[in-house]
Amino acid sequence: MTTPTLICAILAKNVVQHIGPCVQSCAFADDVIVFDSASDDGTQDAARAAGARVVDTPFINFSQARNFALEHTPADWVLFVDADERVTPELAAEVRHVIQHEDKAGWWVPRYNYIIGHVMKGGGWYPDYQLRLLRREKAHYDETREVHEVAIIEGEEGYLQEHLIHYNYDSWTQFHAKQTRYTRYAANTLLKEGVRAHPRHLVTRPAQEFWRRFITWQGYKDGLHGLRLSLIMARYEQKKYWWMLQAQR
């Protein structure tokens, strides 16, 4: 039986601080390709020095970039890894096992998220499954979805046990900048879909978000850190509906 080929695909732009360790964690694959969108901070040189190939990639949105990677990847399987993620040795072994012995078209991978130095146990940040291991010819992305993209799979999907490590937020400044961007995108998306905001949503939606984060998704497991994050995310939910109300007026 022919062993399936596997490539780790990494989307990158100005991530020189992360790209070396990320590429090294992917060394178990048959090849590592960094799909770089015009980095000017040394990312490409650092990626090559760590052992990756670099492909210059036009960027419109993340879904488009992932489709570009799938189209320019000569392998049976693709494992998408973000530059601020690391593949553990245990995950590497599990990936190799399932692509050879399991009949699936895609696999969801759990993640450990580090937020301001804390490994999250709940609050929506764990287990945080990501559909990242894809049989290349059975997967594509909806390019109308600009962020938080999810692959569309033609076939059966499975769930892996081992984890990616995600160093997603190093500081509160970085956290708030990203959440502001995501919240504005979510508000605009809802408006385009015809959703209307009401003044009562400034109270009800944040309360629902806090309950979801802290209780339903067990943010209490992270103690004061989880409480703080749940309150912050409730505040961003309130901002989303405030921005929607302003746009409607």
d(Cα 228, Cα 226) in Å, to the nearest integer?
5
Q: Which domain holds residue 179?
A: 172-248
Please say which residue of 169, 195, 210 terminates a domain: 169
Does one domain contain both 42 and 124? Answer: yes
pTM of the model: 0.89
| Tens of pLDDT, residues 75-130 | 999 999 999 999 999 999 999 999 999 999 999 999 999 999 999 999 999 999 99
Does one domain contain both 176 and 163? Answer: no
Does one domain contain both 16 and 117? Answer: yes
DSSP secondary structure of 16-64: HHHHHHHHHHTTTSSEEEEEESS--SSHHHHHHHHT-EEEE---S-HHH
Residue 1 belongs to a domain? no
CATH number of the domain at 83, please.
3.90.550.10
On average, the pLDDT of the chain sits at 95
Residue 15 belongs to a domain? yes
Percent of the chain with pLDDT over 90: 91
Domains in the chain, number: 2
Q: What is the pLDDT of residue 148?
A: 77
Does one domain contain both 105 and 90? Answer: yes
Does one domain contain both 196 and 152? Answer: no
Does one domain contain both 38 and 53? Answer: yes
d(Cα 224, Cα 221) in Å, to the nearest integer?
9
Percent of the chain with pLDDT over 70: 100
Does one domain contain both 26 and 130? Answer: yes
Does one domain contain both 159 and 187? Answer: no
pLDDT(139) > 70: yes
Q: What is the pLDDT of residue 1?
A: 62
Is the preceding omega at residue 127 within 30 degrees of 0, hence cis?
yes
d(Cα 55, Cα 52) in Å, to the nearest integer?
10
Does one domain contain both 116 and 187? Answer: no
Does one domain contain both 164 and 67? Answer: yes
DSSP label of 153 = E
Please say which residue of 137, 154, 169 terminates a domain: 169
E-assigned strands of the chain? 6-12, 31-36, 53-56, 77-80, 85-87, 106-109, 111-115, 118-119, 130-135, 139-141, 151-153, 157-159, 164-169
Does one domain contain both 197 and 121? Answer: no
3-state secondary structure at position 172? helix
Beta strand 139-141 with 77-80: parallel, antiparallel or unpaired? unpaired
Please say which residue of 169, 201, 224 terminates a domain: 169
